[in-house]
Chains A and B, each alone.
Chain A
Amino acid sequence: MEQPASHLIIKRAEGVSVVEFADRKILEELSIQEIGEELERLVESEPGIKLLLNFRNVDHLSSAALGMLITLNKKINERSGSLKLSDINRQIFEVFKITRLNRVFDIHENAEAALNVFNA
């Protein structure tokens, strides 16, 4: 049977798992559960994971996606890992501000800045 295509592009950089989303529609409701499950598997496979979610391909967001990120963040913290977000466009950052989730997540301007903090 054919495996469902991954929604994520995962790379390693300086001890950090850097995840990008494979297409722009990924954060729509229909895919969020699958993305959440894929990210949870990644977190479970590496205790103390340093995970950077790069949002440069993302131009839309929903409350369900925010919920998925909150659940993921808790799971990472429980496993002594660390999650950072980067490259969030202006409109999507506004959603984080309206919901005050910019206070919950560690958000960086770009991936390079986030990697520097991970490895400081």
Chain B
Amino acid sequence: MRCPEDFGVADSELTEIVVPNTLRDAKTPEERILQDLQRNGYDEQAIFAIKLALEEALTNAVKHGNQNDPNRQLTIRFLVQPRQVVIAIRDEGVGFTPELLPDPTADENLELPNGRGIMLMFAYMTRIRFNDAGNEVWMLKDLDEDG
């Protein structure tokens, strides 16, 4: 999938990292992105938000998308600019339909142990898009749009 048009970034500007499908290997791109955020002067609140969404997306890709299979891979593409961050994560799984997930904040679901990752990604990023298959997520954090 190409970068969504309204994210305002050309695919050619993105850095791509491919790692084996383990939570430990997923730390490599995460640390790269967090270093770029520090270098670009993001404040503590923005870094907290982006780190949270990024870790949820990586965890979903490793566990649910790639089914913890270490022979599969994760593809991470990203660009950190002073006021805008784009991150894409693709796994090799069959995907899912985000709209079908139950609302974890509904009274009847409040005490379920799972199902909060996607809603936290939506809460903490400016925009989230999935490809049609549901095995690739694009996340935008835009400090100007967030206000």
Contacts and interface: CB of A to CB of B under 8 A. Distances in A.
By secondary structure, the B interface counts as helix
Nearest to A104: B110
Interface residues of B, number: 23
B55 interface: yes
Nearest to B118: A63
Contacts of A67: 113-114, 116
Contact of A103 (B110, B112, B115): B110
Nearest to B60: A63
Nearest to B51: A60
A71 B113 contact: yes
Given A70-B111, A101-B110, A104-B110, A30 B116 contact: no
A62 B52 contact: yes
8 contacts: A64-B59, A67-B114, A71-B113, A91-B48, A98-B119, A98-B120, A101-B110, A103-B110
Interface of A: 28-30, 59-64, 66-68, 70-71, 73-74, 91, 95, 98-101, 103-104
